[in-house]
Amino acid sequence: MFNDDHVPASPNPGANVSVLSVTSLNRLARDLLERNFPAVIVEGEISNLAQPSSGHWYLTLKDKSSQIRCAMFNNRNRSVRFKPQNGNQIIIKGRLSIYEGRGDYQLIVDSMEEAGDGALRRAFEELKAKLQAEGLFDNASKQAILSRYDHIGVITSATGAAIQDILSVFARRFPATCITLIPVAVQGKDAPAEIVRAIELANKLRGKLQLQALIIGRGGGSLEDLQAFNEEAVARAIFASELPITSAVGHEIDFTIADFVADLRAPTPSAAAEQMSPDQQDYFATFYGYQAQFASLISRLLRQARQQLVWIMRQLKHPGRRLQEQSQHLDLLEARLQRALRNRLQAQRSELQQLRRSLLASSPLQLLRRSSLTLGHQRQRLQTASKSALESKRATLAALGRSLAAVSPLQTLARGYSITYDENARVVRRSEDVTIGGTIISRLSKGTIHSVVSAISSKVGSDENSGE
């Protein structure tokens, strides 16, 4: 691996030995390293990070048993997409070298990135083992998830595909189910805390809102995207929930810590909605089955009545008029029975139509439309009130401006008065404030007058004081 073209040959015994300077030795070692290790990729933890004003970065890259000094110059570190900190697990690409001035063995870094899924996967497995050892995954702690609920809370993003998939499934299978969305961020640094608060809020309001169960989840993504559902705080909030929780995070191949702690793991948000809703077609099939059984019973009773009538007629030797009356009565009963059957069927159809209208009226789409209409009315009222308040404030401001102008000193100057200052720009209020020979300045409405005091009078109309 090593090329020794520039390394002096070992001297033979008794031969003259070449003597190298320290600089030459370091340069030879540097050339040897740079030639044989032009590009290496290393993973480790940052420590002793320094970022001086020159813009260069200096750090130590370490693992459990070793470390190496690293330097990344400012023309390279500008392309780094994250802010490195001590303790970060990173992957760097660079070349081995030696800093000749100190003889330090170092790695010159060309690129740097976070370690990514490797570190996340290790943290996932460690947390999974910890929580499993504590019993958070035990089936004995899990609540049963029913196939029908009247009111379900959904903790997910308000703008993601997950909530749309869930609403679509419930609208198709059993639209009478009430769905309450508790919107949260499903990725990013704030997502775990928001999910924990949402779970706690749902449990706090479960009696008031009559919530019966929760679905938490999101669509698919990378391990980093799903990290919020691999946080210990979220796992413990799910375990502490008194409401049964179905975890529906990602796709079927994705598994998170939340899946193991939840009472039920669904492979997708749509699957969670399927498992927690009955199919309304099953109810309709049952109803139509009862209807068919009722019609069959009536038909059988009619046949039995006819058979009984035939038997009675055969037993009578002279049925005469009695037989005719019974026959007419039977026809009347048959007509009544058929009419009653038609009326009953019509009533059942009307009841079914009413049930369908009720289901449609309580669907999330209808509720959303009514809420949007109410929001529009409220927005229009708010705009009208804001415009009225602004016009009132403008009128008040104009009145205050007119009042301020009426008492302004500039208005007094405009009526022929002046303001007099001494040489130090102090306002002269009494004759004692000036001295003979001093300079005074009079400010008029337009312009100023500079004067020299030649006489002073202490009272208006008195003789001039020559300064005695």
Could you tell me if 79 and 145 lie in one domain? Answer: no
Could you tell me if 127 and 267 lie in one domain? Answer: yes
Q: Over 50: is that where the pLDDT of 404 sits?
A: yes
Could you tell me if 296 and 271 lie in one domain? Answer: no
Q: What is the per-residue pLDDT for 459?
A: 66
Could you tell me if 61 and 104 lie in one domain? Answer: yes
Residue 3 within a domain: no
What is the sign, positive or negative, of the torsion defined by CA atoms of 401, 407, 413, 418? negative
Residue 232 within a domain: yes
Could you tell me if 163 and 268 lie in one domain? Answer: yes
Residue at a domain's end among 326, 361, 396: 361
Q: What is the per-residue pLDDT for 464?
A: 45
Q: Over 70: is that where the pLDDT of 466 sits?
A: no
Could you tell me which residue, 335 or 2, shows the higher pLDDT?
335
Q: What is the pLDDT of residues 201-234, one digit of tens each?
A: 999 999 999 999 999 999 988 888 899 999 999 9
Looking up residue 37, the CATH number of its domain turns out to be: 2.40.50.140
Could you tell me if 305 and 249 lie in one domain? Answer: no
Could you tell me if 325 and 245 lie in one domain? Answer: no
Q: In which element (H, E) is residue 42 found? A: strand 40-50
Q: Over 70: is that where the pLDDT of 12 sits?
A: no
Could you tell me if 343 and 326 lie in one domain? Answer: yes
Could you tell me if 211 and 260 lie in one domain? Answer: yes
Could you tell me if 240 and 138 lie in one domain? Answer: yes
* pTM passes above 0.85: no
By residue range, what is the domain housing residue 241? Answer: 120-275
In whole angstroms, give the CA distance from residue 214 to residue 143.
12
Residue 421 within a domain: yes
In whole angstroms, give the CA distance from residue 456 to residue 468.
10
Could you tell me if 253 and 299 lie in one domain? Answer: no
Q: What is the per-residue pLDDT for 317?
A: 56
State the residue for tokens 């039995």: 304
Closest CA to 236 of 279, 265, 196: 196
Q: Over 50: is that where the pLDDT of 357 sits?
A: yes
Q: What is the per-residue pLDDT for 290?
A: 87
Average predicted confidence (pLDDT) for the chain: 86
Residue 4 within a domain: no
Q: Band the pLDDT of 9: cuts 50, 70, 90.
A: very low
Residue 51 within a domain: yes
Helices of type H across 316-362: 320-361
Q: Band the pLDDT of 17: cuts 50, 70, 90.
A: low
Residue 100 within a domain: yes
Q: What is the pLDDT of residues 218-276, one digit of tens each?
A: 998 888 889 999 999 999 999 999 999 999 998 888 889 999 999 999 999 999 999 99
Closest CA to 415 of 384, 444, 457, 442: 444
Contact by Cβ (8 Å): 184, 194: yes
Q: What is the per-residue pLDDT for 313?
A: 75
Pairing of strands 439-443, 57-62: unpaired
Q: What is the per-residue pLDDT for 93?
A: 93
The total number of structural domains in the chain stands at 4
Residue 205 within a domain: yes
Residue 140 within a domain: yes
Q: Band the pLDDT of 16: cuts 50, 70, 90.
A: low
Pairing of strands 151-156, 213-218: parallel
Could you tell me if 444 and 326 lie in one domain? Answer: no
